[in-house]
Chain A
Amino acid sequence: MKKICISVGLLLSLWRAGYGQTVDLPAYEKRRLSLQEVNLVSGYYQQDGNNSAVTGGIGSEQLTDFAQSIDLVLKATDRLNRQHTLTFDMNIDHYTSASSDKIDPLTVSSASRSDTHIYPSIAWTVQNSAKRTTRGIALSYSTEYDYKSYGINLSFAKASADNNRELSLKAGAFFDTWKVILPAELRPEGYGSGAHGDRDPIDYKPRNSYNASLSLSQVINKRLQVLLTVEPAFQQGLLSTPFHRIYFQDGAETVERLPGSRLKLPIGLRLHYFMGDKVIVRAFYRYYIDDWGMQAHTINLETPIKLTSFVSVSPFYRFSHQSAVRYFAAYGQHKSTDTYYTSDYDISDFTSQFIGTGIRLAPPGGLLGISHWQSVELRYGHYVRSTGMVANSLTLLTKLK
């Protein structure tokens, strides 16, 4: 708890940095808080494969997920002509998973056969045009059947005099708690299943994550701008998933075991180029390395094409390759003398590709004659992984203004 208080204190002091400077007061333009934008996002995701970590790296990875999200953006201008933006974001997703049903195959319905994930957040930013600064704070909460999280994020950005360059700093922390649900056959005597109505005790373990982000954006010319982001993150606590099974070479069985800390370093470069009058190239590259031995390269290319003034299509392609963490081995390949072990193919060596397209309609007078209904976008993507897993994703975005 003491560590948490110190972390929050440090983050708040970072956010406060910069106050106390004198300001030239611009003309009084106070405007009351008003709703500026509403975004509704609906998503459907479905996957299948044969490397479920719940059953030790073999077995069905079938999963479907329905997700709903609504965010409300409210803006106000204060007496000092600073623009305040409040964003309320509410997300709910419900999934059904074949592998989670194997946690407790003896019961009719196990603890995590299906689950609902609810994660609201609230963000407040203050943009000071006179000083070209933006400060922000965001709080988040997330709850799943076996997982709870509280998050805080602080941000500060400063733009150059000509507004062609911006330096942005962010710092965040998540304070999470796992409910330690073990596979049925590996529970000690008297250990609870985690299911509703089971009064036997069950363990709770923390997982804390801290991240910082440094970004530099630059307008190169009238058509090109770039963004470089370095985002180190540190996690500690229970980083393994307690219901992932491991099968050793000698046939013995246990649960996944991973180190209690992980240091990650992703570096991303985004480049957006307006080509001619109708085509935009959105390119993104990320290099990733962590202290579990994983390295990854990710490239994303998307090219929105403006077919008319209010219709655009956005074909996209994403390629990613990651190396395995040093603790990974397939089903039945781990030695019982190993210190750490996982058969989770999500952190194995693989190449993934994601291809699809989006279509966006944004007529000048609003959709179907409704002036506030600014746009609608439908997006579909097909994901393939060299481990054999395939997935499909469909998203519908509706924007009201």
Chain B
Amino acid sequence: MNINVKTTQTTLLVGLIVLGLSSCVTVKEYQKNRINDAEMELSARKSEKFEQNFYLYREGAAGANGGKSGGGCGCN
């Protein structure tokens, strides 16, 4: 049987996301001491700022990580 690898990867990813979201529980504000920890913030760290810049120049892929996705500099 000829299995399309890309289709399988996409199905797995979507499946994992759906499974993850469906297993959500309601977390009250007073239960968020860990979620609200500075290291848990859902963004790149400030100390990664210049690293994201050099990825933008030295690699072709960019975006979806909190940094630029192109433009604003003479980069890729």
State the A residues within 8 Å of B (CB). 39, 41, 43, 45, 47, 65, 67, 69, 93, 117, 119, 140, 142, 144, 146-147, 149, 151, 162-164, 173-174, 176, 178, 207-209, 211, 213, 217-223, 225-231, 233, 235, 241, 262, 264, 266-270, 272, 274, 280, 282, 284, 286, 288, 290, 294, 296, 298, 304, 312, 314, 320, 322, 325, 344, 346-347, 352, 354, 358, 377, 379, 381, 383, 385, 389, 391, 393, 395, 397, 399
* Apart from A146-B74, A151-B72, A226-B42, 14 more pairs, CB < 8 Å: A39-B46, A119-B72, A151-B71, A222-B35, A228-B17, A229-B65, A266-B61, A272-B42, A284-B65, A288-B64, A290-B60, A298-B65, A346-B59, A381-B51
Assembly CA distance A325 to B73 (angstroms) = 20
User: Are B50 and A266 touching (Cβ within 8 A)?
Assistant: no
With contact pairs A45-B50, A286-B61, A294-B61 given, residues A220 and B74 touching in the complex (Cβ less than 8 Å)? no
With contact pairs A226-B20, A393-B50 given, residues A312 and B39 touching in the complex (Cβ less than 8 Å)? yes
Q: Does B26 contact A (CB under 8 A)?
A: yes
Q: Flag B29-58 by CB within 8 Å of A: 1 or 0 each.
A: 101101101011110011111110110011
> What are 17 contact pairs spanning A and B, CB under 8 A?
A41-B47, A162-B26, A208-B71, A213-B69, A218-B20, A220-B20, A225-B35, A230-B64, A235-B71, A266-B64, A268-B64, A298-B65, A304-B39, A314-B39, A352-B59, A395-B47, A397-B46
Q: In the complex, which of the residues A221, A235, A296, A379 contacts B60, with contact meaning CB atoms closer than 8 Å?
A: A296
User: Are B51 and A354 touching (Cβ within 8 A)?
Assistant: yes
Q: Does B70 contact A (CB under 8 A)?
A: yes
- Residues of chain A within 8 A (CB-CB) of B1 are none
Query: Which of B24, B60, B65, B73 has the most A CB atoms < 10 Å from its CB?
Result: B60
User: Are A346 and B57 touching (Cβ within 8 A)?
Assistant: yes
Q: Does B25 contact A (CB under 8 A)?
A: yes
- Residues of chain B within 8 A (CB-CB) of A220 are 20-21, 23-25
Assembly CA distance A263 to B23 (angstroms) = 35
- Nearest-neighbour CB distance to chain A for B28, whole angstroms, equals 8
Q: Does B3 contact A (CB under 8 A)?
A: no
State the B residues within 8 Å of A (CB). 13, 17, 20-21, 23-29, 31-32, 34-35, 37, 39-42, 45-51, 53-54, 57-65, 69-74, 76
User: Are A280 and B40 touching (Cβ within 8 A)?
Assistant: yes
- Residues of chain B within 8 A (CB-CB) of A222 are 27, 31-32, 34-35
User: Are B63 and A43 touching (Cβ within 8 A)?
Assistant: no
- Residues of chain A within 8 A (CB-CB) of B53 are 67, 93
Assembly CA distance A230 to B14 (angstroms) = 14
- Nearest-neighbour CB distance to chain A for B30, whole angstroms, equals 10
Assembly CA distance A397 to B39 (angstroms) = 15
- Nearest-neighbour CB distance to chain B for A72, whole angstroms, equals 13
User: Are B72 and A164 touching (Cβ within 8 A)?
Assistant: no
With contact pairs A43-B50, A220-B24 given, residues A347 and B76 touching in the complex (Cβ less than 8 Å)? yes
- Residues of chain B within 8 A (CB-CB) of A344 are 76
Q: In the complex, which of the residues B20, B26, B47, B64 contacts A267, with contact meaning CB atoms closer than 8 Å?
A: B64
Assembly CA distance A226 to B19 (angstroms) = 12
Assembly CA distance A93 to B73 (angstroms) = 12
- Residues of chain B within 8 A (CB-CB) of A314 are 39
User: Are A270 and B62 touching (Cβ within 8 A)?
Assistant: no
With contact pairs A43-B50, A220-B23, A352-B59 given, residues A176 and B71 touching in the complex (Cβ less than 8 Å)? yes
User: Are A231 and B69 touching (Cβ within 8 A)?
Assistant: yes
